[in-house]
């Protein structure tokens, strides 16, 4: 189940970045489950990874290899290779070595990524056997098939493209992502791969990625769980005719386009939240700091009581009020707080707004896209978090995940 009309847009090819997919039969044989990404010689690559202390073997290896000018990505779905100890590291290394041998490269030039069930050994031999087919399929036009190959419990493929003009030359940015459950803001709670044909040095590319992730992927939550495998990669092939992006040339246009692609992907993940029937935007305003606003917004977004009320289309505003009160904000003056469901004021002067009517709240809650606004009345800063409801299907999907 997903919220809204989720049609994959045209994913524009990125010069200097090719993708090939194949089926390795890791967990199923109905669709491709591995993807290989090749970057042109001289490409730059930036990435951010999960902050989960039990990070997966491919995360550890990818972080290490990122420092060594990578040229290849190897992605698999169906198995997370997490919680697998030293054996997991050896399995990730063997898949990187298998790809490197086929393309006459060093194993350190490969970044591995995995997603799927935690605690099961990676079938490295199956992946190695499927690599020739993936390499034979390499194409600049394979972003859509790759978006489908990396899916797990996702119900639709997620992608976005932007083009910007710098000094009269066109630059393309295309990204794909997967994620529907085990989503909680703490880096980038999913897998996302974004390619562009910009010329840009790695330190500046890393800076652009971190800024975009902080404003997008770090502000979404489905269930409050941070995955062991989260990663977001930004690749720059340098094949555009546009001038090199620097701190004074083209950075505003480039970073703005990267941000927009990340925004599209982050929103798609929430719309595809496991079992989701509601897309919920939580906006906290008039906070002392942006971090304070986000702290309140995330407390509301993580509340199972709030999320189940939304599933029931029940304007149980007391659950939102309680979440704000336990968000840990010092010296909070509840008499100054004003709350809205959509355009309906529900709380004012420390309690239910005098003009609030239950029928108005029910009207807002009947929609599949809802905005909750909280004015703290103590400052000028604001923050926003995207989330979804908890439905019966969320429990079913996760109860049956390994069956």
- Contact call for residues 386 and 280 (beta carbons, < 8 A): yes
Per-residue model confidence (pLDDT) at position 210? 95
Over residues 109-130, the mean pLDDT reads 96
CA angle 345, 350, 353 (to 5 degrees): 30
CB burial string 298-308: b at 16+ within 10 A, e below: bbbbbbeebbb
Outline where DSSP puts E strands in 12-133: 17-22, 34-39, 44-49, 72-79, 110-117
Average pLDDT (233-260) is: 96
Task: Locate 100 and state its tokens.
Answer: 């490197």
The full set of domain ranges for the chain reads 17-271, 279-399
369 Cβ contact partners less than 8 Å away, ≥ 6 residues apart:
3, 4, 278, 279, 280, 281
Burial of 86 (0-12, 13-18, 19+ CB in 10 A): exposed
| Mean pLDDT for the stretch of residues 194-211 | 97
Evaluate if residue 185 carries a pLDDT over 60. no
Q: Can you tell me the mean pLDDT for 245-252?
A: 94
Q: In which band, very low, low, confident or very high, does the pLDDT at 182 lie, cut at 50, 70 and 90?
A: low
Fold type of domain 279-399: Ubiquitin-like (UB roll) (3.10.20)
Tokens of 310: 């939304």
Pairwise CA distance, residues 242 & 253, whole Å: 12
Question: Is the distance from CB of 348 to CB of 338 less than 8 angstroms?
Answer: yes
CA atoms within 13 A on the CB side of 397: 19
294: left (phi over 0), alpha (psi -120 to 50) or beta: alpha
Fold of the CATH domain 17-271:
3.60.70
Which of 162, 388, 183 is closest to 276 using CA atoms?
Answer: 388
| pLDDT at res. 183 | 56
Residue among 292, 336, 300 at smallest CA distance from 318: 300
Q: What is the 3-state secondary structure (H, E, C) of 202-216?
A: HHHHHHHHHHHHHHC
Burial status of residue 402 (CB atoms within 10 A of its CB: 0-12, 13-18, 19 or more): exposed
**pLDDT (mean) for 66-84:** 95
Span 287-310, pLDDT tens digits: 999 999 999 999 999 999 999 999
More confident residue, 142 or 55: 142
Query: Which is catalytic among the residues 18, 152, 172, 189?
Result: 189
Residue-wise pLDDT for 356-398, tens only, equals 999 999 999 999 999 999 999 999 999 999 999 988 887 887 7
- Residue 334's pLDDT is 93
Q: What is the mean pLDDT of residues 52-79?
A: 94
pLDDT band at 186 (very low <50, low <70, confident <90, very high): low
- What is the average per-residue pLDDT within 126-134? 98
The mean of the pLDDT values for the chain is 93
Q: What is the pTM of this model?
A: 0.93
Eight-state DSSP code of residue 337: -
- Per-residue pLDDT reduced to its tens digit, 324-336: 999 999 999 999 9
At 380 the three-state DSSP class reads: coil
Nearest CA to 178 among 16, 35, 389?
35
Q: What pLDDT is stored for residue 117 in this prediction? A: 85
* Residue 172: active-site member: no
Q: What is the pLDDT of residue 48?
A: 94
Q: Edge to edge, what strands does the sheet with 34-39 contain?
A: 17-22, 34-39, 72-79, 110-117
Compute the distance between CA of residue 215 and CA of residue 89 in angstroms, rounded to an integer. Answer: 32
Nearest to 162 by CA among 234, 219, 249: 234
Residue 6 has pLDDT above 60, yes or no: yes
DSSP letter for each residue of 151-180: -SS-SS-EEEEEEEEETTEEEEEEEEEE-S
């Amino acid at each position: 189940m997903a919220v809204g009309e989720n049609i994959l847009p045209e994913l524009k090819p990125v010069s200097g970045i090719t993708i090939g997919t194949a089926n390795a039969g890791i967990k199923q044989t109905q669709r491709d489950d591995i993807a290989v990404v090749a970057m042109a010689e001289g490409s730059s690559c930036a990435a951010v990874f999960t902050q989960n202390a039990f990070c997966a073997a491919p995360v550890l290896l990818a972080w290490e290899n990122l420092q060594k000018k990578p040229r290849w990505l190897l992605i698999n779905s169906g198995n997370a290779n997490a919680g697998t100890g030293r054996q997991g590291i050896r399995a990730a290394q063997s898949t990187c070595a298998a790809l490197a041998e086929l393309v006459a490269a060093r194993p350190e030039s490969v970044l591995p990524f995995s997603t799927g069930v935690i605690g099961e050994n990676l079938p490295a031999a199956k992946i190695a056997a499927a690599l020739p087919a993936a390499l034979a399929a390499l194409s600049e036009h394979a972003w859509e098939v790759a978006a489908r190959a990396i899916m797990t419990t996702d119900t639709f493929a997620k992608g976005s493209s932007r083009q910007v003009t710098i000094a009269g030359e066109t630059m393309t940015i295309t990204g794909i992502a997967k994620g529907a459950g085990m989503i909680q803001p703490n880096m980038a709670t999913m897998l996302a791969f974004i390619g562009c044909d910009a010329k840009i040095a790695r330190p500046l590319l890393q800076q652009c990625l971190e800024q975009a992730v902080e404003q997008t992927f770090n502000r979404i939550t489905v269930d409050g769980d941070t995955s062991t495998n989260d990663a977001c990669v930004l690749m720059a092939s340098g094949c555009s005719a546009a001038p090199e992006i620097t701190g004074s040339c083209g950075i505003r246009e480039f970073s703005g386009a990267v941000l927009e692609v990340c925004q599209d992907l982050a929103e798609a993940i929430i719309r595809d939240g496991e079992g989701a029937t509601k897309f919920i935007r939580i906006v906290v305003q008039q906070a002392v700091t942006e971090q304070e606003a986000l702290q309140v917004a995330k407390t509301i977004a993580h509340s199972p009581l709030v999320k189940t009320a939304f599933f029931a289309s029940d304007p149980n505003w007391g659950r939102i009020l309680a979440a704000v009160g336990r968000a840990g904000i010092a010296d909070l003056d509840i008499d100054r707080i004003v709350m809205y469901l959509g355009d309906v004021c529900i709380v004012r002067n420390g309690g239910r707004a005098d003009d609030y009517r239950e029928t108005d709240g029910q009207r807002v809650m009947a929609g599949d896209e809802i905005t909750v606004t909280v004015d703290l009345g103590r400052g000028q800063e604001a923050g926003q978090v995207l989330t979804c409801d908890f439905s019966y299907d969320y429990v079913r999907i996760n109860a049956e995940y390994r069956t």
